[in-house]
Chains A and B, each alone.
Chain A
Amino acid sequence: MTTKKKRTPNTERSGWVVIAPDSVTDKNKHGSDPVFLRLRNPSTDGASLYLLGSGDEWLYEVKAFEEEFHSWFVGEAVQRDGRLVFVTPMDPLFLILPYLMKSGREGKFQPVDQVVKDEDFPACSRLLSCSCSFLHIAEEKEVGGLKFHRYSQERTMNWLKKKVERTAAALKTKNVSVGEGVKSTTYIRIKSESEGREEDYLRYAHGLISEYISEALSKALLKHLGLPELTSPKEAEPPAKKRKLSDKPVEAGEDYTKFNSADFARKPPKKMTAAQKTLAKVDKSGMKSMSSFFSPKSK
């Protein structure tokens, strides 16, 4: 047995190495500084870190790329925390959608500022300053110059479908490996090879979009895309357990240095039965998320 050298916990506040779009630091148009803030994650329902910039007009997602045992040299200094933080533009509708869906159960048209409210996340009302169109996810009624909205499942599905298709196209252009190593002797493809590839890209894209919507919506979207649901060890897992695992880094504490690293972290391998292993081989393509995107490609 090898003995592992004990490491002192990294309790000091060091810096953060961040990659951010130029629009974040471009301050000429607006006088105000961007802010990091916690909002309700639409997929996990827990807290995640986001950034609002340009006077709350643009929303950004904050994700940490993290590998064990890494540190930085920054100029003439050492920075122990080896994470690389990505700040990327985010569609605010993903964060607004759960609030509209919730109020939509009443079936009434309501003003959005009365709907997008959250005791745990009071800052969520700032999302309404972002530039986005509610018409993608809701029906609109105008009465006396005031606008009222009601959640529309049909519009939402069409909006999400467009997103999946655009993401699939981007994956194709980037030539991201989505289907290799997925074939198994127990899985017979009836479709031609090219059709199979198309489906792989769509499933992978659906997996990426599912990181921003609830599990129920993700299932409905799969149906809307005409893709059959596949059962897998991952899906068979109780949702509560899955969620606990995925949002652990953000719920761990109030320290905002705990970035949303769940999607970058490699999940610990689970013990699988032979049958589960076979299943895993078959349907990997549909289940791929960011974590597998950043894992080494299968050779």
Chain B
Amino acid sequence: MSCHSSVTHLHVSPVGQAERVPVHLLPCEIEHNGPAQVSQYFTATMKDHKGVKAVSFRGRGLKGQEICCPAGYTGLVLKDTNKPGSDQEDRIVRVSSVFDKLTYWNLDNPPTSDDTVVMAMDWPELAEAIHEPIDE
């Protein structure tokens, strides 16, 4: 009896064909998963002033900025391909879209390099210093 034997396969073959999409990280929880008219009602009202973006969302002014994925890294959006409730032990996820930059939005504060998501982007470089094999 083992409790950790199931694995999840990541289908990477469609990465080349995966759609490149704009990605926004919003400072609120939206209780919905699924289609929304993002470009019509959100992106269309976006303004850009010296690298700082502004947008109005549900009557709240958001300030944001675009940040790039670290060098050598790609953004992937993974989707479950198994039908809900299926009993299959191993799961399969596929790459549904890709991105190499994302826009994050703050509620009140203008974006700065101290924003946590900006600092999180430093993690891969630090992880490499920690984990790269030591020469013999």
Give residues in A with beta carbon < 8 Å to B: 7-8, 10, 12-22, 24-25, 27, 33-39, 47, 51, 61, 63, 65, 67, 69-80, 82, 84, 86, 88-91, 94, 119-123, 131-133, 135-136, 159, 162-163, 166-167, 169-171, 174, 176, 208-209, 212, 254, 256, 264, 290, 293-297
Contact = CB atoms under 8 A, between A and B. Distances in A.
Interface of B: 2-13, 15, 19, 21-39, 42, 69-70, 72-80, 84, 91, 93, 95-97, 114, 116-117, 119-120, 122-134, 136
Nearest to A63: B123
A19 B73 contact: yes
A120 B3 CA distance: 6
Give chain B's interface secondary structure class: mixed
Nearest to A18: B76
Contacts of B120: 65, 84, 86, 264, 294
A36 B7 contact: yes
A153 to B, nearest CB: 16
In order of increasing CB-CB distance, the 8 nearest A-B pairs are A170-B129, A75-B21, A88-B127, A73-B24, A36-B8, A38-B4, A71-B30, A14-B33
Contacts of A37: 4, 7-8
Given A36-B7, A37-B8, A65-B120, A167 B27 contact: no
B132 A70 contact: no
Most buried by B among A24, A76, A208: A76
A166 B4 contact: no
A7 B7 contact: no
Given A16-B77, A35-B10, A256-B8, A72 B24 contact: yes
A14 B93 CA distance: 11
Nearest to B75: A19
Given A37-B7, A79-B33, 13 more contacts: A19-B74, A24-B10, A27-B15, A36-B10, A70-B27, A74-B23, A75-B22, A89-B127, A91-B133, A119-B2, A120-B3, A170-B128, A171-B126
Contact of B114 (A25, A208, A297): A297
A80 B114 contact: no
B96 A15 contact: yes
16 contacts: A7-B31, A15-B96, A18-B75, A18-B76, A20-B76, A21-B74, A25-B74, A73-B23, A73-B38, A78-B35, A88-B128, A89-B128, A89-B131, A91-B131, A133-B136, A264-B120
Nearest to B10: A34
A29 to B, nearest CB: 12
A67 B39 CA distance: 25
A122 B5 contact: yes
B116 to A, nearest CB: 5
B69 A69 contact: no
A71 B26 contact: yes
B11 A20 contact: no
Contacts of B22: 73, 75
Contacts of B134: 136, 159, 162-163, 166
Contact of B36 (A27, A65, A78, A209): A78
A120 B96 contact: no
A135 B136 contact: yes
Contact of B11 (A33, A75, A212): A33
Contacts of B79: 15
Contacts of A86: 120, 123-124, 127
Contacts of B37: 76
A18 B4 CA distance: 23
Contact of B97 (A14, A70, A75): A75
Contacts of B4: 37-39, 47, 120-123
B68 to A, nearest CB: 11
Nearest to B123: A86
